[in-house]
Amino acid sequence: MIEFDFTLERPGFRLALEGQIPDRGITSLFGRSGCGKTTLLRCIAGLEPHCKGQLIVNGVPWQHAELFVPAHRRPVGYVFQEGALFSHLTVEQNLRYGYQRIPKAERHLHPEDVVELLGLESFLDRYASEMSGGQRQRVAIGRALLTSPQLLLMDEPLASLDELSKNDILPWLDKLHQSLSIPVIYVTHALEEVARLADHMLMLEQGRLLASGTPAELMTRTDLPLAHADNATSVIDAQVTDFDESYHLLSLSFSGGQMQVPARVRPQQDRVRVRVAARDVAINLVQQQQGSALNQVPARITALCDDPHPAHQLVVLALGETKLLARITRRSRDLLELAPGMAVVVQFKAVAVS
């Protein structure tokens, strides 16, 4: 467990954050630009010497009133927005740069392990200028891992990449997520990255902790801004039950029912996480007999909430233990006479699930 209680004063900005981060999985620091995400990451890394407070990592104090472990002695790997590779070194030389500075007894990962993990076999002789942005970030991640860190800190690693480069690196971040046993603290302001990668999230606002929990919990809380955003999304954890190779459709089971989603191949893992945008969810009073939407699931309305747009209505639904958001028009709400407690059927196209 990573426990922190930080304060930091700057002209026009004050950071006052206290919280906990699990010692496994990916924790996302999420919020608008200027809310303190990168500052918190830098405090954890020891890069803010004027930061006051305490930091305890797996029971070991790194900072308190009488102690400040300097950045170079904190066992962290840091990945910046730009890969910041050494341009005069090859990929292999970049990877070995940090590895060679770690005592042999403290090395937990080795270059061959990281090369295989991140798919870098064909890039070892290349220089940074000869690779795409996504490929350079994979090398930067590998270099950070080869310092055998107790924490991996990632500061918006996809922010400087175009969509093609993001699509190139995201599967490797997924693989990293499944393979790593060390905690990853991941800064982003992109909700889709949180929904896809994070196990836990801290939501920051103006230097303070607004909320913490799983993405599935926080994204459907109507007292938080995420549920009212244009891209409001629900996250569903599901079990893979079948794969139809002829239609490339994956069958999934979750606490509220079953669904089908498109897939090129059957995933290696048995459990997957899918995202459904609130704007893609339709509500019916009864099961529809004909139509192109493959997914129809019984649900119960738990709440009707105002939405920023005057024509919209935000509906919170329970599908078993799964929460789902739907954004419909207020006219549809009145035509269907929707109310909390009603049993309904939610409908969404398979191609709308990601």
Which tokens go with 166?
Answer: 């993001």
- The per-residue pLDDT for 220 is 94
pLDDT average, residue stretch 333-349: 95
The number of beta carbons lying within 10 Å of the beta carbon of residue 308 is: 10
Q: Pairing state of beta strands 249-254 and 257-262?
A: antiparallel
| φ, ψ of residue 47 in degrees (nearest 5) | -95, 5
Ranges of CATH 3.40.50.300 domains, the chain: 2-213
- Full strand arrangement of the beta sheet holding 151-155: 76-79, 151-155, 184-188, 26-30, 200-205, 208-213
SS3 state of residue 45: helix
Q: Which of 77, 272, 269 is nearest to 184 (CA)?
A: 77
pLDDT average, residue stretch 96-100: 84
Q: Pairing state of beta strands 67-68 and 151-155?
A: unpaired
pLDDT average, residue stretch 275-292: 91
Q: Which of 211, 195, 264 is nearest to 26 (CA)?
A: 195
With a pLDDT cut of 70, the percent of the chain lying above it is 100
pLDDT category of residue 83 using cuts at 50, 70 and 90: low
233-352 topology per CATH: OB fold (Dihydrolipoamide Acetyltransferase, E2P) (2.40.50)
Are the beta carbons of 95 and 139 closer than 8 angstroms? yes
Beta bridge mates, 185: 27, 153
pLDDT category of residue 55 using cuts at 50, 70 and 90: very high
Ranges of CATH 2.40.50.100 domains, the chain: 233-352
pLDDT average, residue stretch 322-332: 96
Q: Which of 287, 313, 284, 297 is nearest to 353 (CA)?
A: 297
With a pLDDT cut of 90, the percent of the chain lying above it is 55
Arithmetic mean of pLDDT over the chain: 90
Q: Which of 11, 74, 66 is nearest to 42 (CA)?
A: 74
Q: Pairing state of beta strands 208-213 and 2-10?
A: unpaired
- The CATH class that applies to domain 2-213 reads alpha beta
pLDDT tens sequence across 9-38: 988 889 999 999 998 899 999 998 889 999
pLDDT tens sequence across 137-190: 888 888 888 888 889 999 988 887 778 778 777 887 887 777 778 899 999 888
